[in-house]
Copies of this chain bind each other. A is one copy, B any other.
């Protein structure tokens, strides 16, 4: 069997886990790692025997590029690969309109170059979106609540770090139920700054002001970092004319590993789609798995 050649674009927390997930996939191999400028400058040459380069064209044949990069870079980076006929997978996680725009833009580029882009292929947006879709398939009317955490929020951590006087910070998302969240922010402050003022600034920041936010003054952030995260999706709804249909999905995972594995599974699915751009809910779930269709049906049905 010819293994599918996967290039890993970006080599942060998620990129490293993508490498592990590709190695563990019986149908794939790592074609190489492509540096994203300023992020992996430290790793010129080789890593774990895989070539590391700043340009995918220096690698041998690449079938799929997994973009383990900042979401904000995806709209710039993805077209470069698609134009070269390389499928892309990203975990673009900026909710709302921007996903629709990304899908439109990449659809055009992908179709023009006979390639497939799978977008927002993490766990939220991503597999959680599929779970929400299935819950609505079972009960079309009703309300779905997505409760995140407990776990680190990247966006809120960046926002807390940006506050003047903050040397380092981490923001945890604590689920309070019904889609409502509490924020616990641990900050290490710079010398000669007033904790009370920093606390105030964080609580008034647009990222935090709508939630109950508690700020703690600590000496050390590094030792608080744990990549565990979770989600609890709840739906109570109506099937036909029958009320009180209840569904829950609970997940507790090491965050970058889950994201990376979903991207790698989506990479496999990309080979089975027609040219274009897709979110996970637009792909037959069986396409994510390795193996013959009939065997998967027999096992998972």
Which residues does A use to contact B, with CB under 8 Å? 17-18, 20-21, 23-25, 95-97, 99-100, 103, 120, 123, 125, 127, 129-134, 136-141, 238-242, 244-254, 257-258, 260-262, 264-265, 279, 281-286, 288-290, 293-294, 296-298, 300-301
Contact = CB atoms under 8 A, between A and B. Distances in A.
A261 B284 contact: no
B99 A285 contact: no
A260 B281 contact: no
Contacts of A17: 239-242
B290 A282 contact: no
A239 B254 contact: yes
10 contacts: A18-B240, A95-B301, A103-B297, A131-B131, A139-B261, A240-B257, A240-B264, A245-B257, A279-B297, A283-B284
B297 A100 contact: yes
A130 B300 CA distance: 8
A65 to B, nearest CB: 18
Classify the secondary structure of A's interface with B. Answer: helix
Copies of this chain held together in the complex? 2
A253 B248 contact: no
A134 B285 contact: yes
A138 B134 CA distance: 16
B239 A260 contact: yes
A258 B138 contact: yes
A301 B99 contact: yes
Contacts of A288: 133-134, 136-137
A296 B284 contact: no
A30 to B, nearest CB: 12
A76 to B, nearest CB: 21
A282 B269 CA distance: 12
A147 B32 CA distance: 42
A278 to B, nearest CB: 8
A261 B140 contact: yes
Given A99-B297, A137-B288, A239 B261 contact: yes
A133 B240 contact: no
Contacts of A24: 140-141, 238, 240-241
B265 A140 contact: yes
A254 B242 contact: yes
